Amino acid sequence: MQPTIVIAGRPNVGKSTLFNRLVGRREAIVSDEPGVTRDRREGDANIADLHFRAIDTAGLEDAFDESLPARMRRQTEAAIADADLVLLLFDARAGVTPLDEHFASWLRTLSVPVVLVANKCEGRAAEPGRYEAYSLGLGDPVPVSAEHGTGMNLLYEAIEAALGGVAPPPEEEEAVEAEPAGPLRLAIVGRPNVGKSTLINALIGDERLLTGPEAGITRDAITVEWDYRGRRIALVDTAGLRRKARISEKLEQLSVGDSLRAIQYAEVVALVLVVNKWDLVADKSAAMATLRDRLTTSLPQVTGVSVVTVSALTGKNLDAIMPAVFDAFEVWNRRVPTAALNTWLADVVARHPPPLAANKRHIRLRYATQPKARPPTFAIFGNRPQDLPDSYRRYLENSLRDQFDLAGTPIRVNLRRGKNPYQEKR
């Protein structure tokens, strides 16, 4: 049975272009006019040997009386009712727009797995947009160019991983623990004027970036190669990515309100919360209490996230940042052995069996595996996963987090129909 994959996103991000490429026929109309393609198109698609049914939602948003976000939601909702996976496209050249954010945060509330796809990634013009997309909270964006056909290998891998189909056989799993190649990519995100550029300068000890009191003075994303105690770090300064905003210098707003708003979408990246300008805080324990309180209510997804208070200006406590980053990075990359996962699954299910489905059928969860890390993504196979209530999903998630020490990192749990995939193959 081939999976069904829905291509979603706001108008003009390249959904039809991608659909055409995957289906291999010039079936949908492509145009610069937003919303020119009118009908929902479906076709048999493939990337190499990966075959699936593709649904193009381009044009669905092109309807009547409601607001655009409401239309996109309603129409896409219908399209993804039977979907196994959603590819959420955004235009990396245009960057992340409020409509993309709206769409992403809605999709995150559904139980269908989502792969975030950065389209129009040919050339460097797309780079800032790609980094910015981490703020959507959907993990690593997969860079492609639908028009030029690049990145299809990465898309292949991401789709397979999200569908839970590419876990290595259990006996080989422990062998894939190699250190990820390349530098650790560390993006410094936050509202304009919180001190991102000052912090990077202070960390690398070099006045390489322009800092100043005006919001958004550094215009482009700048990557700084940095050698930190023998480890290669690619520091990305995202100052200037967000459009100029009127920022009050009032400290409460900078340290709590604005910063939290800036990161509330970021729950699928490994997160370290750096609270800057701590030198200006008079009552530090009261400020910390407020912050902890706000974190609990605003970011429950990353319970246990590291909070580091610093002053980029005076240099105080900057030493604490990188150890917290490495800790978060380690959890982000963690792989839980399949045997341990299945012991855990048997245990949680025994302690609290899933409730009966509406038609009084039993929901059985049979097998768990971790098809990918970054972020830790788990697949749990069972007979009627679609009937599992959200409260039970949260129970599974929290228990996984506790059991395998995944504090401070968002994890994903995809529920899949089926039995142990390895037994089926044998």
Please answer whether residues 374 and 333 qualify as being in contact, where contact means their C-beta atoms are separated by less than 8 angstroms: yes
- The angle formed by the CA atoms of residues 253, 137 and 134, to the nearest 5 degrees, is 85
Using CB atoms within 10 Å of the CB of residue 182, give its burial: 0 to 12 exposed, 13 to 18 middle, 19+ buried.
exposed
The site that binds ligand GDP (CB under 6 A) totals a number of residues, namely 41
Q: Residues for the chain: how many in total?
A: 426
Rounded distance between C-alpha atoms, residue 33 and residue 37, angstroms = 9
- Chain-centre distance of CA 316, in angstroms? 31
Site string for ligand GDP, 98-127 (x = CB under 6 A): ---------------------xx-x-----
Region near ligand GDP per CB under 6 A, out of 9-17, 175-183, 288-296, 375-383: 9-17
Bond prior to 375 in cis (omega within 30° of 0): yes
Using CB atoms within 10 Å of the CB of residue 212, give its burial: 0 to 12 exposed, 13 to 18 middle, 19+ buried.
exposed
Per-residue b or e along 123-154, where b marks 16 or more CB atoms closer than 10 Å to that residue's CB: eeebbbbbbbbbbbbbbbbbbbbbeeeebbeb
Smallest distance, ligand GDP to C-beta of residue 5, A: 15
**Is residue 4 close enough to count as binding ligand GDP by CB under 6 A?**
no
Contact with ligand GDP (CB under 6 A) among 4, 17, 259, 306: 17
**Is residue 196 close enough to count as binding ligand GDP by CB under 6 A?**
yes
Q: Which is nearer to ligand GDP, 117 or 365 (CB)?
A: 117
Residue 43 has what DSSP assignment?
E
Region near ligand GDP per CB under 6 A, out of 39-47, 99-107, 196-204, 264-272: 196-204
Q: Which is nearer to ligand GDP, 91 or 267 (CB)?
A: 91
Q: Which of residues 24-53 bind ligand GDP (CB under 6 A)?
A: 30-32, 37
Q: Which is nearer to ligand GDP, 242 or 412 (CB)?
A: 242
Contact with ligand GDP (CB under 6 A) among 194, 224, 269, 400: 194
**Is residue 12 close enough to count as binding ligand GDP by CB under 6 A?**
yes
Per-residue b or e along 296-306, where b marks 16 or more CB atoms closer than 10 Å to that residue's CB: eeebebbbebb
Rounded distance between C-alpha atoms, residue 271 and residue 186, angstroms = 10
Contact with ligand GDP (CB under 6 A) among 137, 141, 192, 375: 192
Contact with ligand GDP (CB under 6 A) among 212, 300, 353, 389: 212
Contact with ligand GDP (CB under 6 A) among 15, 334, 412, 416: 15
Smallest distance, ligand GDP to C-beta of residue 329, A: 22
Q: Which is nearer to ligand GDP, 196 or 416 (CB)?
A: 196
Please answer whether residues 226 and 234 qualify as being in contact, where contact means their C-beta atoms are separated by less than 8 angstroms: yes
Please answer whether residues 22 and 46 qualify as being in contact, where contact means their C-beta atoms are separated by less than 8 angstroms: yes
Rounded distance between C-alpha atoms, residue 302 and residue 324, angstroms = 14
Structural tokens at position 354: 């899933």
Contact with ligand GDP (CB under 6 A) among 55, 142, 186, 312: 312
Smallest distance, ligand GDP to C-beta of residue 194, A: 5
Using CB atoms within 10 Å of the CB of residue 399, give its burial: 0 to 12 exposed, 13 to 18 middle, 19+ buried.
middle
Rounded distance between C-alpha atoms, residue 241 and residue 119, angstroms = 18
**Is residue 16 close enough to count as binding ligand GDP by CB under 6 A?**
yes
Smallest distance, ligand GDP to C-beta of residue 394, A: 33
Region near ligand GDP per CB under 6 A, out of 186-194, 363-371, 387-395, 412-420: 186-194
**Is residue 137 close enough to count as binding ligand GDP by CB under 6 A?**
no
Q: Which of residues 255-284 bind ligand GDP (CB under 6 A)?
A: 276-277, 279-280
Contact with ligand GDP (CB under 6 A) among 281, 313, 320, 357: 313
- The angle formed by the CA atoms of residues 196, 197 and 201, to the nearest 5 degrees, is 120
- Give me the residues that bind ligand GDP (CB under 6 A), please: 9, 11-17, 30-32, 37, 58, 119-120, 122, 145-148, 190, 192-198, 211-213, 217-218, 239, 276-277, 279-280, 311-313
